[in-house]
Chains A and B, each alone.
Chain A
Amino acid sequence: MTSLKVAEMTAVVLTLGGVVGATAVPFYYETASVERQIPPERQVITLTGVGHDGVWTDEEVTGANYWRRSFRRARPTLEVGKRARLRLKSADVVHTFYLPALGIGPVEVYPGHVAEIAFTPQEEGVFEYYCRTVCGTPHFNMRGVVIVGSQDPEATAGRRPERVEYWREPPPPEDASLVRRGEWMFRQKGCITCHGPAGQGGVPNWNYVKDTVPALNTLAQTMFLFSPEDVNFIVERLEHRVPLESLEEDAPVPRFSVVLAQYESIRNVIRRGNPAGKKDPKGPAPPLEMPAWESRLSDADIDAIIAYLLTQQRREAAEQTGETP
C-alpha cells in the first residue's frame, strides 16, 4: 500500500510538472534563445508581416489572434549611431522587406523563419519601409516609417498619402456607371497607394528618376484628349463596350490614331507593368514599381479605370476654369 501511495504521489507530481512544463518551457526557451543571440547593448526591433492587414507590425502575432484582429502599423524609433538588430517575421505568406534609405533589403521573409539584419543608423531622419512581394490585395499598404533620432514624424507625414484600408471598400452597385466602377477599382486594387488619391501623384519613390510616382490625372493629355467633349466621347464608347479600334474611320476626335496608340500603350503598361528607372544607377532599386496587373484586372476593369482617370482630368480642369462639367 505504501509503495502505491508513493507511486500515486509521483504520478501527481509528474502530471503537474508535465502540464506546467508544457505551458512554460516554450516561452522560456524562446526568451532565452533570443537573449542569447542578441547582446544587450543592441536595439532590437521585431517586425511581423501580416498579409491580410497590409502591415508590418511590432505586435505579437499568434495563431490565436491572427484571424480576429487588425495589427498596428509599426513605427519604430531608433537612436543614431547605436547598433540595431532588425528581426523580420512573416505571419502568413512570403513578404519582402525593403528599407532602401538605410540600405536594408530587399530581404525575403518566409513564415516560420526569422530574417535578422544588423545595422547602425547613421543619420537622423524619417525613412520609409516597404514590402516588395505582392502578397495580396492589401500588399500596397505594407509601408511605414522608421524614425531615427528625435525627428518629428508628423513633420514629414504630409508628404505621404493617408493609409486607408482601400481593399475593404464595398463595391458600387451593379448598375453603377463605368467611371464609378473605375473609381472603386482604382482605390480597391491599391493604385491609390502609389499614384495618390484621384491619381494626383506626389508619392515619393526612393532613387526614382522622377522622384515621385507619376500622377495619373493627366491621363487625358497623355491620350491627346484635350477637350471635355473628346473625353466624353471616349468614355461613352468605353461604357458601351465599343472597341476603340473599330472607330478608326469616322471618330469625331482629332488625331484619333494617336489617341488610339496612346490608349493601347497605357493599357499595356497596366497589363504588363514597368520597372521604375533609377536616378543613381549605382543606388538601390526604387521601392515602388508599376506592377503587372494582367492576372488581377480584366480588360473591362482596365477600361473602367482609364475612364475614371480621364474624367479626373476633366473635373480638375473644370474646377480651375470655374465651369460646371
Chain B
Amino acid sequence: MFVQAKGIRALAGTSPAVATLAPRGPATAGRIDLLQAVPGLRWLLTRRWFQFAMILPNLVLFLLFLMAGTFGSPVGNRNIIIIFVWILWWFLLISVLVPFLSRAWCIVCPFPFFGEWLQRRALVDVRAVDPKKGKGGPGTIIGRNRYFGWNLRWPKSLTNIWLQNIGFLGLCTFSALFLTRPIVSVGILGALFVIGTVLAVLYRQRAFCNYVCPVSGFLGLYAMASTIEVRSKDADVCAKCKDKGCLAGGERGWGCPWLMYPSKMDRNNYCGLCMECLKTCPYANMTVNLRPFCADTRLKGYDEAWKAFIMLTLALAYSVIYLGPWGFLKDWANIAEKADFTGFLIYAASLWILALLAFPGLYYVAVWLGRRLAGADIAPAKEVFLSFVYPLVPLGLLAWVAFSLPLVLVNGSYILMVVSDPFGWGWDLFGTAQIPWTPVIPDWTPYLQVPLLLVGLAYGLKTGYGHARRLFTARGQPVRAFAPVSVLLTAITVLFLELYLG
C-alpha cells in the first residue's frame, strides 16, 4: 500500500499551475522548498527520534530552571529562571523564533512532553494498528494509531483560543510578580507541566497546546507572519491520496497531534512543526517552505482577532510601564513589592478594559467608518472586520520586538552572570559570575526600534490594503474602506515611536 518514496519524487515536483487551479490548495508562489534546497534536512526531520532529540536538552534545562527557582537565590536577577525564561527566552521567542521559524518553539517545548509520553506510551516509537490483529488490543484507536488515556473530545464551546487569550492576559497582569520572584515562575512553569500532562491524559492529543497553553495563542497568531511553513507540495497528489496518513497516522508516524489536516493546511496558526506529517505522508508530499514575511493573512475568528488586540495592548502597556517615565504606574503594576492594592486594581482593570473592550471598540468604529466611506458593501461585516484586524499581526509582532530589545540589552550582563551562577549560590562555572551589572542602552537603540515599528506598519498597511482590494472591488472603494483603519494603525505606531524616542 505504501508507494516507495523514491518513485513518487518525480511526480511530487512542485507545479505552480496545479496549485493555482486547486480551489483551496496552498499557494506555492514565492516559496523555496527547504527540504530540496538543504541536503540532509529531509533525512533529519523524518527521523523518528528527531523531536525527542530536540526536546530532551530543553526539558533538562527547564527542570534545572525549576530547581534553581525553588532552591536557588530568592533574588530575581540572581536566579537563572527569571533571567533565562522571562528575558532571554522571551526575547528569542518574539524576535527570532516566531518571525523566522514559525512555531519552532513547539518542536522543543518540554511542557507537553510527559503528557504525550503517557498518551503514546512511546518516545520515538509509533503504535500503529496491526492489520493482522485488527482493532483488538490495548488503548484507543484513532485513525491508524493507538493511544492511551481517556481520549475524550475537547468541548466544542472551547474549541477556540479564548482560554489562551484570557490566560495570557491574566498572566501578564501579574508580570511584576513573576519577574521578581523566582518561586512564582516555578509555580507558572510547574503548572504548565502539570496541566499539560493532566489534559493529555484526559483529552485527545495536543488539546493543551491547541486550546489552553497561554504561550501557544500568541505563537499561533504571530506565526502567520513567519518566514517558514509546513505545507503540502502538490495539491493533486493529496487529492488523489487514499492513505491520508498525515491525518490518520500509520506505521511511520502519528496522525497530526494538533488535529490539523496537514495536506489542506493553509495557515501556520495551529501547526506545531512536529514533523509527523513529513513522516506519515507516503508520497513525501509534505515539506517545509521558506516564504515571504506575512504570507498567511486571514484571521478565522473573533478569538484570533482579540488575541491580536490583547497582544498589541500588552506591548503598549508594558512599554508605558517599563520604559516610560511614569514611576507611579510601575509601582501600581508592582503588586509584589509595593502592595498598593488600589493602584494595582486600577492598573489591572484599565489593562483588561483597554485590551478587551476599548481598543477593539475603537477598531470596530474605524472599520465601520471605512465601510460607510466605501459605500456599497458586498462583503460580510465579519469578514471585513477580521481582514482589517490582520494588520495588527505584523504591527504587534514588530512592536513586541521593539519593546523587548532594550530589555535584553539592559539585562545582558545578568545573562552572562547567571550562566556562571544559575542558582545564585556563588558558583562561577564560566568565569562570568563577577561581571557587574552593566546596563547597556546604547544610543542607537531607537535606530533599531524605529525601523522595526515602521516595517511593522508597512506590512500592516500592505496586507490590510490587500484585503481591501479583495473585499471592495469598485473603483476607489478599497482606499476609502481602508482609510480609517490605516489612520488608526499609523496613530498607534506614532504612539510607540513617541514612547521610544521621547
Decide yes or no whether A325 CB sits under 8 A from chain B.
Answer: no
How many residues from A make CB contacts under 8 Å with B? Answer: 32
**Within 8 Å of chain B (Cβ to Cβ): is A28?**
no
B 285-338 contacts with A by CB, 8 A = none
B52 at the interface (CB under 8 A from A): yes
Number of A-B contacts (CB under 8 A): 102
CB pair A18 B74 closer than 8 Å: no
**A8 with B124: CB separation less than 8 A:** yes
Contact B59 A67 (CB under 8 A): no
Binary flags per residue of A152-177, CB closer than 8 Å to B gives 1, else 0: 00000000000000000000000000
Q: Which residues of chain A are within 8 angstroms of B59 by Cβ–Cβ distance?
A: 15, 18-19
Q: Which residue of A lies closest to B181 (CB)?
A: A67
Q: In the complex, are the beta carbons of A22 and B56 less than 8 A apart?
A: no
Assembled-state Cα–Cα distance A4/B68 (Å): 35
- Is B196 located at the chain interface by the 8 A CB criterion? no
Given known contacts A8-B124, A64-B70, A91 and B75 CB-to-CB distance under 8 angstroms: yes
Q: Is B427 an interface residue (CB 8 A)?
A: yes
Is A61 interfacial (CB 8 A cutoff)?
Answer: yes
Complex CA distance for A131 and B172, rounded to whole angstroms: 37
Bound together, the chains give a CA A14 to CA B58 distance in angstroms of 13
Q: Does A266 contact B (CB under 8 A)?
A: no
Interface membership of chain B positions 98-138, coded 1 if the CB is closer than 8 angstroms to chain A and 0 otherwise: 00000000000000000001000011110000000000000
Chain B residues contacting A61 (CB-CB under 8 Å) are 74
Would you list which residues of chain A between 45 and 100 have a CB under 8 Å from chain B? Answer: 61-64, 66-67, 89-92
Choose the segment among B156-164, B354-362, B416-424, B485-493 that binds chain A (4+ C-beta atoms closer than 8 Å): B416-424
A89 — which chain B residues lie within 8 A by C-beta? Answer: 426
**Contact between B123 and A63 (Cβ–Cβ < 8 Å)?**
no
Residue of B nearest to A33 (CB): B427
- Given contacts A4-B125, A63-B183, whether A11 and B49 have CB atoms under 8 Å apart is yes
Of residues 98 to 133 in A, which have CB atoms within 8 Å of B's CB atoms?
A: 111-114
Which residues does chain B contribute within 8 Å of A67, judged by CB atoms? Answer: 74, 181, 183
In the complex, whether B249 has a CB less than 8 A from a CB of chain A is no
CA–CA, A319 and B113, complex, Å = 75
B79 at the interface (CB under 8 A from A): yes
Instruction: Tell me which residues across on chain A come within 8 A of B67, comparing CB atoms.
Output: 22-23, 26
- By a CB distance below 8 angstroms, the chain A residues around B122 are 8
Q: Which residue of B is nearest A52, CB measured? A: B74
Q: Are A112 and B78 in contact, CB atoms less than 8 angstroms apart?
A: yes
Docked Cα-Cα span, A61 to B59, in Å, equals: 26
In the complex, are the beta carbons of A63 and B125 less than 8 A apart? no
The answer to whether A7 and B60 have CB atoms under 8 Å apart is: no
Evaluate whether A113 and B124 lie within 8 angstroms (CB atoms) in the complex, with A7-B48, A61-B74 already known.
no
- B residues sitting closer than 8 Å to A (CB atoms) are 48-49, 52, 56, 59-60, 63-64, 67-75, 78-79, 81, 117, 122-125, 181-183, 186, 417, 421-427, 433-434
> Could you show 19 A-B contacts with beta carbons less than 8 Å apart?
A4-B124, A4-B125, A8-B124, A11-B52, A15-B59, A18-B60, A19-B59, A33-B427, A62-B70, A62-B72, A63-B68, A63-B70, A63-B79, A63-B81, A63-B181, A66-B183, A111-B78, A112-B417, A114-B425
Give A contacts to B, CB under 8 Å.
4-5, 7-8, 11-12, 14-15, 18-19, 21-23, 26-27, 29-30, 33, 61-64, 66-67, 89-92, 111-114
Query: 11 more A-B contacts (CB under 8 A) besides A11-B123, A112-B73, A112-B425?
Result: A8-B123, A15-B117, A18-B60, A22-B60, A22-B64, A30-B423, A64-B71, A64-B186, A66-B74, A66-B183, A111-B424
Nearest first, the 4 A-B pairs at minimum CB distance are A114-B426, A66-B74, A112-B78, A22-B63
